[in-house]
C-alpha cells in the first residue's frame, strides 16, 4: 500500500520568529519609501495630480509657510522694534526686559494663532478630508478597478453613522492610551512610539480597505495579524512629525503635507504575511498582536455606560407614564 505523506509545518523558535518579524518590519519600511511608484500614479491621473497639488499648496505653502513666516520674520521684526524703541527707555531696568519680551512674544503668538493659524487649520482639516478621499478613490481605481459599491439605504446610513461614532471613540481611546503609555518607566517612550507608528500606518491603509468593502472589525483583524509590517510602514511617516520641534501645528502640517503620498503607497503595498502563509510563530511572539485591544475594551465600557444611562432614562419615562 502506498504510504501517505503528511506535510508538517514546524513551529519556528523564538530567534527565527524574531527574524521573520524583523523581515516583515523591513518590508513595511521599504514600502513606505516607494516614492517613485507614487509619483507615477500621480502623473498618470489628472485628478490625483490636481488634488495632490492643492494639498501641497494649502498645507505646505499656506499653512506651514505661515508658521515659518511668523517664527522667522514676524518675531525677529518685533524683537528689532523692541530693541530700538522700548529697550532704550528702560535701560536702567534691564532685569525686566526678558519678562517684557517673553510676554509680548506669547501675546503676538496667541493673536497670530487665533486670527490666522486656527482658521487655516480648520479650513485645511475640512478640505484635506475631501481631497484625501478623492486621491484614495482614484488611486484604487488605477490599481484595482472600481471600489466595492454598496447601495446606501436608510438602514445602512444609520449603520454607517453608528460605525463612524464607534470608530471616532476608538481612535480617541487609542491616542489617549498612546499618550499615557509614554509615562511608563523605561519602556514607556518605546511603547508610545510604536503606538503612533501603528496608528499612522492604519490611517494610510484604511482608505484602501474601505474601498474593498471591509468592515471595521475586518480591518482591525487584518492589521493586528501584520503588526510588524505596519510598525515599519508607519515609522517613516511618524518620524518627521515627531521631530517637528514639538509644535502641534507644525506636526499637523507635516502630516497633512506627506499623507497623500502614503495613501497612494498604501494602495500599492501588499502587507506581510500573506493570507496563504502558514508559518507558525513561537509561543513567545504573538502572531496576532492586539494593538487595539485596550482601546476596544475602553470603547465597550463607554458604550455599555451610555446604554445603561439610556435604559435608566427609558425606565424613568415609563414609570412616569
- pLDDT tens digits for 194-214? 999 999 999 999 999 999 999
Residue-level pLDDT at 191: 93
Q: Tell me, what DSSP letter sits at residue 44?
A: T
The pLDDT score that the predictor gives to residue 158 is 76
What would the pLDDT profile of 271-280 be if each residue is shown by its tens digit? 988 765 656 7
**For residue 2, is pLDDT > 80?**
no
Average pLDDT, the chain: 83
Question: In sequence order, what are the residues at sequence separation of 6 or more whose Cβ sits closer than 8 angstroms to the Cβ of residue 84?
Answer: none
Percent of the chain surpassing pLDDT 90: 41
pLDDT at 150 exceeding the cut of 50: yes
Domain ranges of the chain: 28-320
Phi, psi of 150, rounded to the nearest 5 degrees: -115, 125
Instruction: List C-alpha distances in Å: 126 to 58, 130, 262.
Output: 12, 7, 19
Phi, psi (5° rounding) for residue 25? -60, -45
Q: What is the pTM of this model?
A: 0.84
Question: 232 with 28: CB under 8 angstroms?
Answer: yes
Reported as a pLDDT band with limits 50, 70 and 90, residue 4 is: very low
The mean pLDDT of 146-155, rounded to a whole number, is 72
Is the pLDDT assigned to residue 95 strictly greater than 80? no
Side-chain-side CA neighbours of 291 within 13 Å: the count stands at 29
pLDDT digits (tens, 9 = 90+) for 165-189: 889 999 999 999 999 999 999 899 9
d(CA 86, CA 30): 55
Amino acid at each position: 500500500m502506498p504510504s501517505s505523506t503528511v506535510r508538517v509545518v514546524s513551529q519556528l523558535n523564538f530567534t527565527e520568529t524574531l527574524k521573520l518579524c524583523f523581515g516583515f518590519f523591513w518590508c513595511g519600511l521599504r514600502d513606505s519609501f516607494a516614492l517613485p511608484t507614487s509619483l507615477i500614479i500621480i502623473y498618470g491621473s489628472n485628478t490625483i495630480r490636481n488634488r495632490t497639488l492643492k494639498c501641497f499648496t494649502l498645507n505646505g505653502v499656506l499653512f506651514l509657510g505661515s508658521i515659518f513666516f511668523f517664527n522667522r520674520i514676524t518675531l525677529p521684526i518685533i524683537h528689532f522694534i523692541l530693541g530700538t524703541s522700548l529697550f532704550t527707555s528702560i535701560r536702567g531696568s534691564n532685569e525686566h526686559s526678558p519678562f517684557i519680551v517673553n510676554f509680548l512674544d506669547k501675546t503676538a503668538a496667541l493673536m497670530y494663532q487665533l486670527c490666522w493659524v486656527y482658521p487655516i487649520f480648520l479650513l485645511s482639516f475640512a478640505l484635506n478630508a475631501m481631497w484625501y478621499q478623492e486621491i484614495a478613490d482614484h488611486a484604487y481605481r488605477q490599481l484595482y478597478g472600481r471600489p466595492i459599491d454598496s447601495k446606501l439605504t436608510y438602514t445602512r446610513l444609520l449603520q454607517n453613522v453608528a460605525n463612524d461614532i464607534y470608530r471616532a471613540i476608538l481612535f480617541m481611546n487609542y491616542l489617549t492610551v498612546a499618550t499615557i503609555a509614554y509615562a511608563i518607566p523605561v519602556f514607556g517612550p518605546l511603547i508610545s512610539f510604536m503606538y503612533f507608528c501603528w496608528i499612522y500606518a492604519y490611517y494610510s491603509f484604511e482608505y484602501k480597505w474601505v474601498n474593498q468593502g471591509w468592515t471595521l472589525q475586518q480591518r482591525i483583524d487584518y492589521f493586528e495579524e501584520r503588526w510588524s509590517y505596519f510598525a515599519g510602514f508607519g515609522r517613516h511617516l511618524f518620524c518627521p512629525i515627531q521631530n517637528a520641534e514639538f509644535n502641534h501645528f507644525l506636526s499637523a502640517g507635516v502630516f497633512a503635507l506627506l499623507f497623500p503620498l502614503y495613501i497612494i503607497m498604501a494602495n500599492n503595498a501588499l502587507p506581510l504575511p500573506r493570507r496563504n502563509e502558514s508559518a507558525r510563530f513561537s509561543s513567545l511572539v504573538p502572531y496576532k498582536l492586539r494593538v487595539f485591544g485596550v482601546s476596544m475594551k475602553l470603547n465597550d465600557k463607554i458604550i455599555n455606560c451610555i446604554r445603561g444611562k439610556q435604559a435608566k432614562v427609558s425606565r424613568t419615562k415609563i414609570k412616569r407614564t
